[in-house]
Amino acid sequence: MMKEKIFNVGLKQFFSTPYSVILIAVVFAFVWLGKYLLTSKENEIIQHKEMLKECDEERKHDKLLMQEMVFEKKRNKELEE
């Protein structure tokens, strides 16, 4: 029977190999990439919230204009009568 371990490498021995440097670099790359993606998405969400605020303000302004126009029309009709 074959009960030998395929990877019979201790932790100290693993850290002395070039694979440990590659593994650590890959872990740091994934951490950096995740942090980068999270901050970029957070910035995108902030931008969209600001755009929504601007659109909401425009909508309020347009609503006021429409109310003024309706009021002017009613007043003109009343003055004509």
Task: List pLDDT tens digits, range 20-39.
Answer: 888 889 999 999 999 999 99
Q: What's residue 21's pLDDT?
A: 86
The span from the CA of 30 to the CA of 24, in Å, is 10
Task: With a cut of 80, say whether residue 3 has pLDDT above it.
Answer: no
Q: What's residue 77's pLDDT?
A: 86
Q: What's residue 18's pLDDT?
A: 79
Q: Stretch 37-63: mean pLDDT, rounded?
A: 92
